[in-house]
Amino acid sequence: DAGKGGYDHYMLKEIYEQPTALRQTIRGRSNQLDGRAELEELPPGAFSDVESIHLVAMGTSYHAAMYAQTLLADRGITAQAFLSGEYGSNPPPTDDGTLVIAVSQSGETADTLSAIRSVQGTGARTLALTNVVGSTLTRECEDTVYIRAGPEIGVAATKSFSAQVATLILLSERLSQDIHGGTPAATGDLLESLAVLPDDVQRILDESTAKSVAQAYHDSESYFFIGRDIGHPVALEGALKFKEITYDHAEGFSAAELKHGPLALVTEQTPVFAIFTGRNDTKTLHNVKEVRARDAPVVAVAADGYHEVDDYADHVLRIPDTHHDVSGILANVQLQLVSYLAADELSRPIDKPRNLAKSVTVE
């Protein structure tokens, strides 16, 4: 209990540690004067000859990898996120133009280690993005970037996701600098948003109305999470967290997929969480109207300045206005709080959910 620092659960402590964790993640890595991301672990220009990027990971780390796939595509870099458990058994072609980035909080996930081992000898470069200093992954990859989140004890990953995505934003900027040369003009805005991210997360922790959402809906049996673009991995992560610790059915998918099947399951008994991140919001709003027409309760996660959804949502969980690339981290913090508070209402064993281990060391 002493280790919980007065919180009821490690998960809650780790949710509240996010401002500090993010300060550590970003410290010394964002040169706002020059508008450059600086990851000093990586030699200057190290990745100038990279032609394509594979990101391999599982669970929450896979959602961070999906998020990074979009960040890299936005920077004109060919990138694809893979479940490492699939990648290792059926690896796609790689060569010396491929950079394989393994994303893993623990650095010990067997599927992810196996994915990295599967490209050894193909010429592909390997990079570990992890939280644990000296973990197996760091020994098996050529380069390592630490996310610096501090120890994470709760089985449900929280602060590690925020720190992974913040690090992947910096890494995407650095890869763009190496591959294309120069720094895009928009980078200054992004680094400014990263610099205030810890304060923005603190504001959510101080002002969130997630408790009223958890109280209103914790008796439902099924929950849907939808989002587009970076909101898609955030939707998947929101659903994963929810099912992991509440034991209720929760499903995340791209809002674009709604009409292609899942809409058949939407009723007045299925709360729908809709994530707005400042891009394609009008299309997601259209999806909200569709579920609303089926009487589903709607919980929107949206920026302070986005009010188009207000008339169609039962609850709006607000996030500070920020750069699009950063907004998914903030939206995810609101969803972490909802999951935690709903699981707490249900008296679940939040730090040690049944059947799950913090680190999955067998394939």
Question: In terms of Cα–Cα distance, which of 316, 327, 336, 323 is closest to 239?
Answer: 336
The interface with ligand AGP within residues 325-354 (CB under 6 A) comprises: none
Q: Which is nearer to ligand AGP, 155 or 300 (CB)?
A: 155
Residue 155 CB, nearest approach to ligand AGP (Å)? 5
Q: Which two tokens mark 167? A: 């690090």
- Choose the binding region for ligand AGP from 41-49, 66-74, 149-157, 312-320 (rule: CB under 6 A): 149-157
Residue 88 CB, nearest approach to ligand AGP (Å)? 13
Helices (H) and strands (E) in the chain, counts: 12, 12
SS3 312: helix
Distance of CA 129 to the CA centre of its chain: 14
DSSP state of 311: G
Residue 193 CB, nearest approach to ligand AGP (Å)? 25
Q: Which is nearer to ligand AGP, 60 or 187 (CB)?
A: 60
Q: Which is nearer to ligand AGP, 104 or 167 (CB)?
A: 104
Q: Does 157 bind ligand AGP (CB under 6 A)?
A: yes
Distance (Å, rounded) from C-alpha 152 to C-alpha 132?
10
Residue 310 CB, nearest approach to ligand AGP (Å)? 31
Distance (Å, rounded) from C-alpha 350 to C-alpha 344?
7
Residue 78 CB, nearest approach to ligand AGP (Å)? 24
Question: In terms of Cα–Cα distance, which of 107, 87, 111, 85 is closest to 98?
Answer: 87
Q: Which is nearer to ligand AGP, 196 or 360 (CB)?
A: 360
End-to-end CA separation in angstroms for the chain? 32
Exactly one of 19, 59, 297, 328 binds ligand AGP (CB under 6 A); that residue is 59
Residue 58 CB, nearest approach to ligand AGP (Å)? 4
Q: 89-128 mask for ligand AGP (x: CB under 6 A)? A: ---------------xxx--x--x----------------
- Of all residues in the shown chain, the one whose CB is closest to ligand AGP is 59
**Residue 125, beta-bridge partner list:** 99
CA–CA distances in Å: residue 46 to residues 42, 43, 179, 263: 7, 5, 9, 46
Q: Does 60 bind ligand AGP (CB under 6 A)?
A: yes
Distance (Å, rounded) from C-alpha 217 to C-alpha 215?
6
Spatial contact of 180 and 76, defined as CB atoms under 8 Å apart = yes
Residue 305 CB, nearest approach to ligand AGP (Å)? 31
Total of residues contacting ligand AGP (CB under 6 A): 15
347: left (phi over 0), alpha (psi -120 to 50) or beta: left
Within 13 Å of residue 206, how many CA atoms lie on the same side as its CB? 8
159 is catalytic: no
Distance (Å, rounded) from C-alpha 102 to C-alpha 111?
10
The interface with ligand AGP within residues 271-330 (CB under 6 A) comprises: none
The interface with ligand AGP within residues 216-275 (CB under 6 A) comprises: 244
Token pair 């540690």 is at which residue?
17
Q: Which is nearer to ligand AGP, 244 or 251 (CB)?
A: 244
Distance (Å, rounded) from C-alpha 129 to C-alpha 167?
8
The count of other CB atoms within 10 Å of the CB of residue 286 is 14
Q: Which is nearer to ligand AGP, 74 or 351 (CB)?
A: 351
Annotated catalytic residue, options 4, 243, 352, 358: 358
Q: Which is nearer to ligand AGP, 282 or 355 (CB)?
A: 355
The two most distant CA atoms of the chain are separated, in Å, by: 57
Q: Does 173 bind ligand AGP (CB under 6 A)?
A: no
Residues with catalytic roles = 358
Query: What are the residues binding ligand AGP (CB under 6 A)?
Result: 58-61, 104-106, 109, 112, 155-157, 244, 359-360
